[in-house]
Amino acid sequence: MRAASFLKTTLAAVVLASSMTLVGCDEDTPTTPTPNPSTATVTFASNLALGGSSTRSFDVTRAGNVSVTLLAVGGSTTLKVGLGVGIPLADGSGCVLSRSVEAVAGTTAQLELAVDTGKYCVQIYDTGTLTTVVAFSLSVIYPI
């Protein structure tokens, strides 16, 4: 009888321990969705001279991707110009490009690159194809 009592006590302890473990698994805690990272979109429009360039700086406050789209250049869809992203010179007089492409105006990004936090610049420049001053417009999307 002593063995039967011991067995009942042990069995009761195992059942109690198992039910205590399952209490924490009864309901899943709801999770909050992670918000999408924020980006800024800047449109940069000006004129580009023969043999010239035009630069605009922007600040990236978190790592992510920069996307540059040449929207218009001289009203042409075939006129090719240089487009680049880099680090602005300390005196603000230009941009040291880390990546560049030759591009024509379009609706999709012609230049995309991953960046860390810091100050960056976008530059458009004549690659020798201009015959006159042309108006341009470009869009820069970057993480903030």
Does the pLDDT of residue 26 top 60, yes or no? no
Answer whether residue 3 is part of any domain: no
pLDDT value of residue 24: 47
- Count of domains observed in the chain: 1
Tell me, what CATH number does 137's domain have?
2.60.120.380
**Residue 111 is part of which domain span?**
39-143
- pLDDT tens sequence across 58-104: 999 999 999 999 999 999 999 999 999 999 999 988 999 999 999 99
Closest by Cα among 67, 96, 102 to 83: 102
pLDDT over 70 at 12, yes or no: no
Report whether pLDDT(33) > 80: no
Describe the strand order of the beta sheet including 53-60 as a list of residue ranges: 53-60, 118-125, 81-88, 95-103
pTM of the model: 0.74
Q: Is 133 among the domain residues? A: yes
Among 103, 121, 130, CA closest to 49? 130
